Structure formats: structure tokens, C-alpha cells
Structure 1
Amino acid sequence: MAISASDAKYIRANHFSAIGRFKRSLSAATIAAGLLLTCCIAAAQDTPNSALLVISKREHALAIVDPSSLKVIAKVPVGNDPHEVTASADGHTAYVSNYGSGAYHSLAVIDLVRHQPLTAIDLGALTGPHGLTFVDGKVWFTAEGAKVIGSYDPATSKVDLVLGTGQNRTHMIFVTPGSEHIITTNVSSGTVSLIDKEAVRMPGPPPGMTPPAGTPRPPQGGPGPRMDWNQTVVRVGNGSEGFDVSPDGREVWVANAQDGTISIIDRQNKSVVQTLQVNVTGANRLKFTPDGRRVLVSSLSGPDLTVLDAHTHKVEKRIPIGHGAAGIVMQPDGKRAFVACSPDNYVAVIDLNQLTMTGKFEVGDEPDGMIWAARP
């Protein structure tokens, strides 16, 4: 079909007009993409070297909070029923326990720089992971369903140690640098496990028994010592859950939720030296201030944060913070503490000099476990 001169002119005009619109559209899209990339880069650059990490149990997320502005920088999904969180020594990675009261068996892994979830760690038969800490390049955890503590090595992607406690609900965990001493609370047993790596001498073969062919001859006097783990179980109070070790390493303070008491264990003698009647029924977490002067105790059954004098063992103050609280974390400089007020869906900010609640911020429903993450 023949096209007239006027039609041809119209087609050419619309053709170039369409090209112009396409170029303008492409340019706008390019600019928008560039702005988005710039914003992402700026956001990554704005992430502080020190951050507060807070679990939101109901949202199944980890909130990364700027401690200077108390603003949430990012939220990262962490799987079902998250309870506790720890961070690697370089501040690049976080690990979250998926608890499920023994139904789950994984640790969520989060890239704190890119704000992304990584491949979770499947613990297999080690069910009910809860308490976490990061020591000597490894993730240490409790597993309530299996009644054990264990360690996971990120360098080899393997669980490289499992130790049974024989206690019910092995819940929270503390590991000393060098990984020679481990402390756990066992909630339903009302006990604390003090686990120490010690040299033990292994006996030789029974008298008259001939070793199998090819077995190296033991040195005179027996095979000699080797390192092994020994557990001392200390009876404290009912519902022993939150605990902390004094900064000088001499004492373990344990909050007994059902009894409303605090047991003080002498680590050298491995025995309870005092039980404080301080009315902390429902106690969830217990933490020393960095200077060792005070002890903070949260309770899911009461409105107050209890502050104890670590030297006199007396209640110094009860700070109203809401309708109950769980996780506690100290700012490293000792100026503030942060307390997860789970029933009220906010985190309370505590001035440790004035012993007052100075503010609060939201990270998501039912905040719980918290940790401070710092990059060198």
C-alpha cells in the first residue's frame, strides 16, 4: 500500500518523538537507579562501627541499631523463634539461636555489613539451641533438647565440640578467653554447671593384659596426662536462668526466677557462699556493670529493673521500666544499659550514673536477646 507524503512526514515525526520519549525515560530510569545505588552506599557508609543488636521474637528479625541515634538501621530475618544473639569478634557476623523450646535445631547467620541473612547452621540432633557467646573464634551454644553445650567453628563449618551436662534445660552460657572454663545455668534442675578443662592421667591396661600388636609402648608410669573436661554441678535455687560472672572472675551471680533469690557462687571453691533474698521473682537476666559496682536484674513478672550494690549485696534501687523485661546489655563505656521490655515492645535506656530510665525506642514486637557488636 502506497504511503502519501503527508503520512510519511507524520510517521517520521512520531518516530523521532517516540525515540525522544524513550531516551528521556531511559535517562530517568538511569538516574533513579544511580540515586538508589548512592543511597545504598550511603546507608552502608553510615553504619556505625559499634551497633546494638536486638532480637524481635514476634517479627522473627534482628534489628541493627545505631546506639548514638537509637534508630534502627536495618532489620534482617532470622528464622523461627529467635531468642539469643551473639556477634563475631570483628563485628562482621551475628549468630541467632532458633529455640522453639527444643523443636528447632539451627543458628541463623547474619552479615552485619551487608545486612543480609547467610546460610543457617543446622545443628541436627542438638535441638533447642538457646544461650550463645563468641569466644576464641568460635560460636558457643547451649542445646536444651540434647542437654549439652557445644561449639561451632566458622572456619571449618563444623561443630567441633559437644559436652553433655545431664541437667534439664541447659540455658545460658559463659566461656572464658582460652576456652578452658565454661559456665551454664540449668533452669529446670535449679543448678549451675562449672565445666573446666583439666589435665587427667589415663590409666594403662589392666595388669596381665597384653596390648594389641602395634600399639606404642606407654611411657614408664602410665600413658601420662591428657586434657579432659570435668563438670561440677552446683545446686542454687529454683528456676536458675540469668547469670553473670563478676569482672574480677571470682564470683558467679545467678538469678533464681521461681524463688526470687540470687545465689552467689565462689568460683574457686565451687560452692554457694550466699543467697540473697531480694524479691526478683520472674528474673530473666542478670548483668554486672562494666566497673563491677552494680548488678542489674530484669524480671518478666514485674515492672521494675532491680539494681543491686555488688559490694553490700543490698538493693540500691528499683527502676520502673514497664510491665516486664528480658535481655540486658551494657554499653562498653559503662554510661548506659539497654533493657528489652518484651511485653511493652520497646527497649528501655538506663542512665547508669543517675539510675533512671532516660528513654526508649522500638525495634519490633517482643524484643529479647541483645548484644553489642563492634568492628575494630
Structure 2
Amino acid sequence: MITKVEPGVVSTDAVETEIAYSPDGNVRLLARSEGQWGENGRGAIYESRLANGKWSEFVVAAFSGAHSDSDPFFSPDGKFVYFTSDRGEGNDAANDRNIWRIAVVEDGYGAAEILPAPINSPADEYSSTLNGDGDLYFASMRAGGYGLGDLYVARSSNGRFLDPENLGPTINGKGGEWTVVTSPDDKLLIFEASHRAENKGGVSGDLYGALKSGGGWESVRNLRLLNTEGSDLGARFSLDGSGIFYASTHKKGGAQADIMQAPKALVLSHFSRIAAVSRSAHQVCVFTVPGFIESGCAKTGDVGPHEIAASPDGRFAYVPNHGVYPQPHDEPIEPDQLKWVNGSSQSISKIDLTMVKTVGEFQLEDCQQPHGVAVSHDGASIWVTCENDQSVQHIDAVTGERLRTINIGVAGVHEIKMSPRGNLLATANFDHGSISLISLDDDLSVDTIETGRGAEGMRFSSDGASLYVSNAFARTVSVIDVNERRRIRDIPTGGQFSIDLFVSETRDEIWVTHTASRDITVIDMESGEIKTKIALNSTPLGIIMSPDEKYAFVTMPRLNQVWAYDVETYEIIEKIDGVMEGDGLAWIPQVVN
């Protein structure tokens, strides 16, 4: 997963701290110094060029070598190299470290120029990087910050930089923040911070990440799967967007630092995410929340996946391959253009969510068209519905071995959910118009309760005492008293073909998606009245909410999108592309090392 970059060439016995590639991919610059890390030894920027498919040896760049230089970074247009130097020019004291830049010209480089105040200050500045809009991010030890060193941004406007803005206490702490980079789209910030309690090395710097939301940064996470007990710093995004480069010291005392590479999916696994099933592309795509950055897409081993469930630790997802799926379409379509492909499958795909990669394919026996799936609370086993066999199978999550089969005995055993305590399973039996409760505490007894024609979507209350069921043809939500095993209420949904639902207990709301009337109704849980109806221009399908109930996510299959809603305002805040004929959704908690 994490690899050392070109041992002996890029990563040597010296201290390498940053690598930068020109936008055209033909030049790379490497910050390297000799001697002990952290002792302010002189560093230089080395250059290697690509010719005839081969990289030249690294040599000291023409603009470096006479001073201590570091932190090379190409501007997005490739016209400048930004770097840190102690050249002692300008209005600062000698040996002060400042941000410089140099023009890239046809035969090499122009003259180096120091960036004016207030970018540079009487204190040290480090690690200048630019996002796709040309905004300059950097670190500074200037007065007025939150700690030893803080991170700043100077916005680009009409060819010049505006006054720097401190990134604030969400990013900057009482310790020090020293190196920084943002993704070209400015959605992901990666920075180095020292003297934080959660750092693996204590005082040593660790890499942290943050996601952009509403114009600010939030969801700050220690990138624990990358960090070591030494210093980890100097992150840079790869040109193709597949991952990041960064430096890591791994010898006692910091006598050596190497350039490492980590895949994007691994970096983003530190954040909460959603997974969306693409029925027609036969894959699962994963996105961060917030930011909605794609971590990657994993192909399932067979065709027509519909539903998904993630393990409680966020490391694996399980996807039954149903076999039946909409005909693929790259562009949005109208409902009357939809055509179905009747395939066949008896398998479940196991996906590593850290790498967003399919790592297993479980072949099932006596389970035609598996559809719904649930994961046990310990992550050791899964439960899958077998539609054509009127049953549920219990499967070992590691070996794929069938542990038992539970006969439900009614038609259309479609969806399945695990109760909050993990002691009960519920199946939605679409063709029979019922749900079945399976007790996991005793002898696996099954109680079937009629709810209404087309029972499909289900959600337990947080205490497990109630189960809410959407009935597509009946246009109702049934409320089940789980302890008494009876239906106690039916709530009209106000729409046609009530396909899925989600319950917001903090807001006392039930959100219901309707495929025929193309809308989402938001129902008051107590009164049963419709609080609002969200009219849509296409067909909605699956729905989930983030655990904090800040965001709602809805698959829009005909549009090949997932829509993210602000639950407070009912407004769309993001349309996520690239999910062809999306169906099931799953919440993925951040992976903790």
C-alpha cells in the first residue's frame, strides 16, 4: 500500500523531504540535505529530466546549491517554481527563511525573486504550495499565530496575492504546523503538525488531513495509516491524482528521510465516507463526507449488484450480485428509456474499503439472485437474502462458508437490516407485502408481520424498539412494535411507489423516496403530516443519512448521480457524478489504526 519511491535514486541515505513534478511530467525537483534531520543542515534542490522515457540522474538545479533551499513546488501552469531559501535578500535579516519563486523558461530558469511582504515577514516562512486557482498556502512563524508556526493562505486576485489569512484554530494549534498542500480543486488539505497529543511520535510532526465544507476546513484527521514515530511531512499530490508523495524519517535521530508514496484511497480512508452501488457499471464507488471526493471505485466480481453493507470498523463492504440490472447508459435517460438486462448470479463481492478494491468473491449455493445484505456487529459474518429461495443465508465473512440457512417461507425476501443491538434481523418481503423478524438470541425463530404491498425500505429506531417500513404499492410507512411483534401504525407517504426511507430521530422526521411520483416527502413522525415535499426532475431510489443527520444522500439512477442534501434546509448541496444506475448506499466510518 505504502511504498518507498525509487530506492537509491529518489530515496537515498540522505534526507529527502519533498518531491515536485512539473505539470507536463517532464521535470522533477527533489529537496535533499546531508546530515542529521532537524539540525538546519544546508539543503539543496536537485533536478531530474525525462528524455526518451528515462529519467536523468539528479543534479543540483541551476538556481540552487549556493544557499539552503527546500520545498520546491511547480505552479499549476508550470511557469514558476516556488521554494524556500535562506538567501537573506529583501527586507529580512540574513539567514531568515523566505518564500521565493523562479520563472521556468525554455532553456532552464530565470532569475529568482523573493515574494514581497506581507507574504514574507521578519520571521521564517516555509512550504509554499498553490491550489488550482493559484491561491498560495504556506507556513509561517510570524507573530500573532496560534502556536510555534501556523498555516496561511494568500488568495490570488488579478495576478497578485492578497494579504495572507490565517487558516484558523480548526487547522492551527498550540504546537506547530510546518508543511502544507491542497488538492488542485482545494477540497483536501494535508499538513504537518507537531507537538500534538495524538501524534505517533509525540513532538515529531505527523501528517493531518482536512476536508473543505462550506468555504472552510473541517473533519481534521490524523493520517495514522501513513504516520510513523518519526517525522512525516512534505505531502505532494501526484500528477494523475492517484495518491500523494510525502517524506518520512525512519531512522533514530532523523539521519535519513525518504520519499514515500501512498494511494489516494488509503489517505481518504481516514475520513467518514459513503459507498454507492452502481448496478449497471457493476461496481461500488466511495466518496468522502464532507468534500465528496471520490476515493475510488471497485468492480464487483459479477453483474448487477444492488445493495451494500459495511463492517462496523469501516474496513470492508459486502455486495450481493443480483444479476438483474438496468441496461448501461453513459448519459442521463428518462424513465421510459429504461431497459433491463436479466442476468444470473449467485455471488457476494467483498471490498476492502481502505484501498477500495475487491478482495474476495463468495459463491453461494441455493441462493438465486441474492439481494439484501447485513453485517454482524463483530464483523465476523454476514446475512444475505435469497429472493428466489425465500430464505436468508448466514455467511462467514472471511471464508465465505455458509454457516446456516433460515427459511422465511414467503415470496420476495428482498431487503435485510440488523437491529442496533445486533440481536435481531428484519427482512422486507416485497412480493408478500410483509416483514419478518428473525431472533438471533435464541433458536432463530421467525415472526412474519404483514405491512402492505411492496414492502421494501426499512430502518430500526436507535433503541431497536420500532421498525419503520416503506410499502411501495400501498404508499405507506408501517411502524412495527418490535417487542410485541405487531404493526401499530400506517402513515400515508403522500407519493407514489414509496421505495425507501430514512428516519431522523433528532428531527422527528421520516424521509421517503418515491420512484413513480419522482419526489421525496418529509413526514412528521408524531403527527404523520407531510412537512415538505421535494419535487425532483428524475427518479430517486436509495436514501441514507450521515450519523449526525447533517446530510442526506439519495441515489438518482437515471441521472447516474448521487445527490447530497442539507437536512436542515432540504437543499441540494452537491451532485456527485459517476454512479451509473445507483441503488444502495452505505455509511462508512473512518478507519482507525
Shorter-chain TM-score tier:
0.7 to 0.9
d(CA) in 2 for partners of 1:108, 1:296: 29
d(CA) in 2 for partners of 1:35, 1:282: 46
**1:260 maps to which residue?**
475
Structure 1 residues without counterparts, runs of 5 or longer? 1-22, 199-226
| Change over 3 Å in CA distance of 1:190–1:26 after alignment to 2 | closer
| Change over 3 Å in CA distance of 1:373–1:25 after alignment to 2 | same
TM-score if structure 2 supplies the norm length? Answer: 0.51
Which amino acid in structure 1 is aligned with residue 291 of structure 2? S
Which amino acid in structure 2 is aligned with residue 187 of structure 1? F
- The structure 2 residue matched to 1:46, chosen from 267, 275, 292, is 267
Say how many residue pairs are matched: 324
d(CA) in 2 for partners of 1:142, 1:30: 59
By how many angstroms is 1:95 displaced?
1.1
**2:567 maps to which residue?**
352
By how many angstroms is 1:44 displaced?
4.1
Deviations 1:279-337 (A, max 9, x none): 33211111112536111111211221111111222211111233211111111211111
d(CA) in 2 for partners of 1:368, 1:129: 15
RMSD: 2.4
Which amino acid in structure 1 is aligned with residue 406 of structure 2? L
- Aligned positions of 1:265-284 closer than 5 A: 265-284=480-499
| Change over 3 Å in CA distance of 1:26–1:262 after alignment to 2 | closer
**Structure 1 outlier segments of 4+, above 3 Å:** 23-27, 34-40
**1:81 maps to which residue?**
304
**1:64 maps to which residue?**
286
**2:368 maps to which residue?**
127
Which amino acid in structure 2 is aligned with residue 47 of structure 1? L
Does the CA-based 8 Å contact 2:420-2:462 persist in structure 1? no
TM-score if structure 1 supplies the norm length? Answer: 0.79
**1:28 maps to which residue?**
55
Which amino acid in structure 1 is aligned with residue 396 of structure 2? D
By how many angstroms is 1:368 displaced?
1.0
Structure 2 residues without counterparts, runs of 5 or longer? 1-49, 59-237, 246-260, 325-342
d(CA) in 2 for partners of 1:42, 1:111: 13
Segment drifting more, 334-343 vs 316-325: 316-325
d(CA) in 1 for partners of 2:554, 2:361: 27
By how many angstroms is 1:42 displaced?
5.0
Does the CA-based 8 Å contact 1:290-1:332 persist in structure 2? no
- The structure 2 residue matched to 1:193, chosen from 431, 436, 439, is 436
Identity of aligned residues (%): 25
Deviations 1:11-38 (A, max 9, x none): xxxxxxxxxxxx965742999xx98885
**1:164 maps to which residue?**
407
**1:211 maps to which residue?**
none
Greater RCO, 1 or 2 (C-alpha within 8 Å, sep 6+): 1
> Which of the two has greater helix per residue?
1
d(CA) in 2 for partners of 1:116, 1:98: 16
Which amino acid in structure 1 is aligned with residue 510 of structure 2? V
| Change over 3 Å in CA distance of 1:358–1:274 after alignment to 2 | same
**2:512 maps to which residue?**
297
- Aligned positions of 1:1-376 closer than 5 A: 25=52, 27-28=54-55, 41=262, 43-49=264-270, 50-78=272-300, 79-100=302-323, 103-136=344-377, 137=379, 138-176=381-419, 179-197=422-440, 227-289=442-504, 291=506, 293-374=508-589, 375-376=591-592
Does the CA-based 8 Å contact 2:420-2:460 persist in structure 1? no
| Change over 3 Å in CA distance of 1:238–1:38 after alignment to 2 | closer
d(CA) in 2 for partners of 1:178, 1:275: 25
